[in-house]
Chains A and B, each alone.
Chain A
Amino acid sequence: MATVTSTKTAAKPGIGPGWPKPPGKNGSNGNGRKRFGGGKRFSKDTYRITVWILMAAIVMMFVALASSYIILSGNEGWRPVRMPRAFMVSTGLILISSITMTAARRQVRQGQRRKYQGWVLLTLLLGIAFVVSQIQGWQQLVAAGAFMSGNPHSSFYYLFTGAHGIHLLGGLTALTYLALRSGQVLVGEANEKRMAAIDAVTLYWHFMDGLWVCLFLLLWLWK
């Protein structure tokens, strides 16, 4: 009996489903990915997992800030500030940019590199337009006499837009990187890696969009 068990386990050493074959002698780990000196340690899940984890952290920070907003909105001294028009424009811009980013991702998946390049550039431009429009929003706030100091509602306008803007800059940097490299023809793992990066950036960009819409609705409707 003992021999039967041992041959069984030798052929299929008690391992989970992600590891189909026993290790090869050339440093391959058994499912085609070389490791340790082979250099190929890339797993396409890495970026996606990382962005999800990152989003969890960012959500926690904005949940803290939004809870503060909701608590203070019931306080004495809370004077609602009118939503500047520019922020409505920005909301439109970033919603559209989410659609263009989805289009870019779809094109690259279908192998349409030129079209992908166009969509990704358009997304980048929309992202920059969003930032410009946010700055205009600040100018309109200042023109209306709502400053960072003073009553909490006007402070929250600057805080939310500023904090969101800093996180958005990360997304813009990633988009710029994708746009700069969008002309290159990549094959094999390099291509796989780019696809994973595009997936991750798309995810993050949608997140930035959704986050802004939440903040916008909070500032606009919860006063």
Chain B
Amino acid sequence: MAEAIHEVHRHPAPTGFIRKYIFSLDHKVIGIQYIMLALTAVVVGLVMSVLMRMNLSWPGTNWPIMGTLFPTGAPGGVMTPEFYLSLVTMHGTIMVFFVLTTAPQGGFGNYFLPMQIGADDMAFPVLNMMSFWVTFVGFIVLLTAIFAEGNLTVGSWFSKLGESFAAGSGTVGPIGGWTGYAPLSALGKIAGPGQGAGVNLWIISIAIFCIGSLLGALNFITTLLNMRTRGMTLMRMPLTCWAWFTTAILALLSFPVLLGGGILLLLDRVAGTSFFIPGGLYVSGSLVPLHNGGSPLLWQHLFWFFGHPEVYIAILPGMGATSHILSTFARKPIFGYRAMVFAIFAIGMLGFFVWGHHMFISGMSPYSAIAFSILTLSIGVPSAIKTFNWLGTLWGAKIRFTTPMLFAIGFVSLFVAGGITGLVLGQTSLDFFFHDTYFVTAHFHLVMGVASIFGMFAATYFWFPKMFGRMMNESLGKFHFWVTFIGVYAIFVPFHAMGMVGMPRRYAQFGEYEFLKNTHGLVLFVTVAAIITAVVQLVFYFNFFWSIFKGKKAGDNPWEATTLEWNTPSPPPHDNFAGIVPVVYHGPYEFAVPGAAKDYIMQTEPEGAA
């Protein structure tokens, strides 16, 4: 009989604090843990971006706290150019991996994918718990990367790990950017300040993150394929589920490539291999000894083969949430459900064949460049399908302008504004000019950074009542939306202009360049806009945490939505549906059905009952 007990693998509700909130197996708790991790990481990333803006606008200013935290990175409180570059690196890595990949997929996906398909948990709860904690460890390791070299105390902890981790090898954190281009990133400390211990930790952190994401992706795909409830056919799934599914496939196929590349890079640094280091390399005034036979371009190929799908990993869940929320508050079925599904899939799959457009100036054959260019531009087709379907959904609708709806509409706006410059950068001839300028920075911040974040804000305001049983404050939410919406355009539209005059990325200051003299006012304007936008996020944080305890009580279905998660108490019980197996009779977006009693039909409503 012991055998029979063993076979009951669905875990019972935990009782102790640790099993309930820390090492929980419940996908809902794990989802919230991911969201909290992202909420923490985004503060670090945001503070770093503000520091960068301050350094660009007021170079040479003394910020005493910086001198205390980073005695070598910012001696006497004045940021060095190398320290600026490590801020660039850390900001990019934290935002891409620990915010844009964790919150949309690990956070909301974890919480709502099982609920929307009518499952009681993920297919592998233990794996799910591990994927979060592995990711968490990755975040801690990444944070140490900037301190390991910028701060002598922390640096000395790592000195025991061997020569390549020794403190004092550089003066700041990793400076290679989130792309960490070889050969400089492969050489170790002989490549100069900021290429020592910090880069090792940076690579290790990313490798850990890859493993966490792979565990998550495995779980997502199995759950979606195998645990859909009765009647939940693939074409009855909410578009959010399609987006999370596609994202999981992208993660599954792209993270192993980055992991492979990361292992090669780390071996080059600590084991003396030459995967990315060619022979006869001359760096910082001396010949690099003992290395021969590697190819620096190989790293770019491996990195961008992962890197391009990664940007879709960041934005696809936002697209899913936006589609879902637009339909709900337009009180209309999503326009072209099937087309939306195919567009999501097409964007995801095409994303694997366009990595070369990040490498147009690497000296690649013009024929390959044309192929990559055409494939890149062809992503515009499914993207346009999505955009027009969103507009079609809004057309003629009696829109309910709630905060989540505003953010979803904001997502569409930002996706169009940022996506349109993708058509510019995707052409080799134009990219030759725009490469490595602020134009590129403007493009990817709007489309992948801010648009994804808007998707997540929309998702947060939308699902908060389900997660915590209380509503977020609408007035604060609308204030947050309008300032953020105007703020991000105020920051990133000027970036396009800066790029057009040729302002290069990743420069710590521009004061000495004659041709950039007249951009000074613009740089200052962007800094002020960035500080205001950053400060306004405090309103969101306040709203979030205040509403958990003091928000207006939400019913089971405050938005009058149709999908399964609104069919259960808020917050949901441990097994999601309180012992009832939901049965699905309808598609996910049956709003305004002619002849129906209400203006929406829940997916669980038996046919003919209405």
| A39 x B302 contact (CB < 8 A) | no
1/0 contact string of B207-232 vs chain A (CB within 8 Å): 00000001001100110011001110
| A56 x B253 contact (CB < 8 A) | yes
Please provide the chain B residues from 418 to 467 with a CB less than 8 Å away from any CB of chain A in the complex.
none
Contact of B273 among A6, A35, A148 (CB under 8 A): A148
In this assembly, does B577 line the interface, its C-beta being within 8 Å of a C-beta of chain A? yes
Complex Cα distance, B605 from A10, in Å, reads 11
| B3 x A77 contact (CB < 8 A) | no
| A64 x B293 contact (CB < 8 A) | no
Complex Cα distance, B7 from A190, in Å, reads 7
Please provide the chain B residues from 281 to 310 with a CB less than 8 Å away from any CB of chain A in the complex.
290, 292-295, 298, 301-302, 305
| B267 x A60 contact (CB < 8 A) | no
Interface size of B by Cβ–Cβ distance < 8 Å?
Answer: 59
| B3 x A15 contact (CB < 8 A) | no
B3 nearest CB neighbor, chain A only: A190
Q: Which residues of B contact A77 (CB under 8 A)?
A: 274, 278-279, 292-294
B578 nearest CB neighbor, chain A only: A36
A65 to chain B: closest CB distance in Å?
A: 5
In this assembly, does A89 line the interface, its C-beta being within 8 Å of a C-beta of chain B? no
Please provide the chain A residues from 172 to 200 with a CB less than 8 Å away from any CB of chain B in the complex.
184, 186, 189-190, 193
1/0 contact string of A1-43 vs chain B (CB within 8 Å): 0100111011001111001000100010110000111011111
Q: Which residues of B contact A27 (CB under 8 A)?
A: 579, 581
In this assembly, does A54 line the interface, its C-beta being within 8 Å of a C-beta of chain B? yes
Contact of B272 among A29, A41, A61, A149 (CB under 8 A): A149
| A190 x B230 contact (CB < 8 A) | no
1/0 contact string of A57-85 vs chain B (CB within 8 Å): 11011111101100110011111000000
| B275 x A68 contact (CB < 8 A) | yes
| A49 x B252 contact (CB < 8 A) | no
A50 to chain B: closest CB distance in Å?
A: 5
| B273 x A152 contact (CB < 8 A) | yes
In this assembly, does A46 line the interface, its C-beta being within 8 Å of a C-beta of chain B? yes
| B581 x A42 contact (CB < 8 A) | no
| A39 x B607 contact (CB < 8 A) | no
| B120 x A64 contact (CB < 8 A) | no
Complex Cα distance, B272 from A149, in Å, reads 5
Complex Cα distance, B6 from A190, in Å, reads 9
A105 to chain B: closest CB distance in Å?
A: 21
Contact of A64 among B4, B222, B257, B279 (CB under 8 A): B257
Q: Which of B55-63, B143-151, B258-266 contacts A (4 or more CB under 8 A)?
A: B258-266
B459 to chain A: closest CB distance in Å?
A: 25
| B7 x A39 contact (CB < 8 A) | yes
Please provide the chain A residues from 113 to 155 with a CB less than 8 Å away from any CB of chain B in the complex.
148-152, 155
Q: Which residues of B contact A64 (CB under 8 A)?
A: 256-257, 260-261, 302, 305
| A71 x B230 contact (CB < 8 A) | no
| B290 x A152 contact (CB < 8 A) | no
Total contacts A-B at CB 8 Å: 177
B251 nearest CB neighbor, chain A only: A57
Contact of A36 among B273, B302, B579 (CB under 8 A): B579
In this assembly, does A163 line the interface, its C-beta being within 8 Å of a C-beta of chain B? yes
Chain B residues touching A, majority SS: loop
Contact of B581 among A10, A36, A71, A78 (CB under 8 A): A36
Residue from B305, B580, B581 having most chain A Cβ neighbours under 10 A: B581
Complex Cα distance, B298 from A71, in Å, reads 8
Q: Which residues of B contact A13 (CB under 8 A)?
A: 231, 583, 585, 606-607
| A49 x B263 contact (CB < 8 A) | no
B584 nearest CB neighbor, chain A only: A15
In this assembly, does A218 line the interface, its C-beta being within 8 Å of a C-beta of chain B? no
Complex Cα distance, B124 from A50, in Å, reads 10
| A68 x B264 contact (CB < 8 A) | yes
B10 to chain A: closest CB distance in Å?
A: 5
Q: Which residues of B contact A79 (CB under 8 A)?
A: 293
Given contacts A151-B292, A190-B3, contact A49 B231 (CB under 8 A): no
Complex Cα distance, B3 from A135, in Å, reads 39
Complex Cα distance, B272 from A32, in Å, reads 59
| B585 x A14 contact (CB < 8 A) | yes
| B259 x A149 contact (CB < 8 A) | no
Complex Cα distance, B275 from A85, in Å, reads 25
Q: Which residues of B contact A61 (CB under 8 A)?
A: 256-257, 259-260
A14 to chain B: closest CB distance in Å?
A: 6
Q: Which residues of B contact A46 (CB under 8 A)?
A: 123, 222, 226
A19 nearest CB neighbor, chain B only: B230
B595 nearest CB neighbor, chain A only: A2
Given contacts A53-B252, A72-B294, A159-B267, contact A36 B575 (CB under 8 A): yes
In this assembly, does B233 line the interface, its C-beta being within 8 Å of a C-beta of chain A? yes
Complex Cα distance, B275 from A76, in Å, reads 12
| B293 x A37 contact (CB < 8 A) | no
Q: Which residues of B contact A30 (CB under 8 A)?
A: 230
Residue from A30, A35, A65 having most chain B Cβ neighbours under 10 A: A35
Q: Which residues of A contact B264 (CB under 8 A)?
A: 65, 68, 159
In this assembly, does B597 line the interface, its C-beta being within 8 Å of a C-beta of chain A? no
Q: Which residues of B contact A193 (CB under 8 A)?
A: 7
Q: Which residues of B contact A151 (CB under 8 A)?
A: 274, 292-293
| B233 x A16 contact (CB < 8 A) | yes
Please provide the chain B residues from 4 to 60 with a CB less than 8 Å away from any CB of chain A in the complex.
4, 6-10
In this assembly, does B161 line the interface, its C-beta being within 8 Å of a C-beta of chain A? no
Complex Cα distance, B9 from A72, in Å, reads 48
In this assembly, does B594 line the interface, its C-beta being within 8 Å of a C-beta of chain A? no
**Residue contacts A-B, CB under 8 angstroms, 11 given:** A10-B606, A13-B607, A15-B231, A27-B579, A39-B10, A57-B255, A68-B260, A76-B279, A148-B273, A152-B274, A152-B293
Residue positions of A touching B, CB distance < 8 A: 2, 5-7, 9-10, 13-16, 19, 23, 27, 29-30, 35-37, 39-43, 45-46, 49-50, 53-54, 56-58, 60-65, 67-68, 71-72, 75-79, 148-152, 155, 159, 163, 184, 186, 189-190, 193
Known: A19-B231, A49-B225, A77-B279. 5 other contacts (CB 8 A): A6-B607, A36-B120, A149-B271, A150-B273, A159-B264
Q: Which 9 A-B pairs have the closest CB atoms?
A: A149-B272, A6-B608, A77-B293, A61-B256, A39-B8, A77-B292, A64-B260, A60-B256, A155-B273
Residue positions of B touching A, CB distance < 8 A: 3-4, 6-10, 120, 123-124, 214, 217-218, 221-222, 225-226, 229-231, 233, 252-257, 259-261, 263-264, 267, 271-275, 278-279, 290, 292-295, 298, 301-302, 305, 575, 577, 579-581, 583, 585, 606-608
